[in-house]
Amino acid sequence: MKYLLWVLVIALAWWVLTRPRKATHIKTEKSEASAQEMAQCAQCGVHLPQDEAVCGEKGLYCSTEHRSIAQDRNPA
């Protein structure tokens, strides 16, 4: 009976130790997939993915047209 109790304790400890790690792993994968940084156009205010945004000295824009309207230029 004492042996059975230890088995249960070890099983419970194993479950507690392994479960949160798995959950964190899934959460990390999910957030990496959906966490695309969003940018807002400094001219028209439209939201777009940051890798599609046009970079200016004053901020990010949705297009090069809006960057020129804002009288900004590419810092690069």
Task: Name the site residues for Zn ion (rule: CB under 5 A).
Answer: 41, 43-44, 62, 66
Q: In this structure, which long-range contacts are made by residues 29-34, counting pairs with CB atoms below 8 Å and at least 24 apart in sequence?
A: none
> Shortest Cβ distance from residue 16 to Zn ion (Å)?
51
Q: d(Cα 49, Cα 59) in Å, to the nearest integer?
A: 14
- Which residues share a beta bridge with 49? 38
- Nearest-approach distance from CB 60 to Zn ion, in angstroms: 9
**Min separation Cβ 58 and Zn ion, Å:** 13
In the bound state with Zn ion, the residue whose beta carbon lies nearer, of 39 and 41, is 41
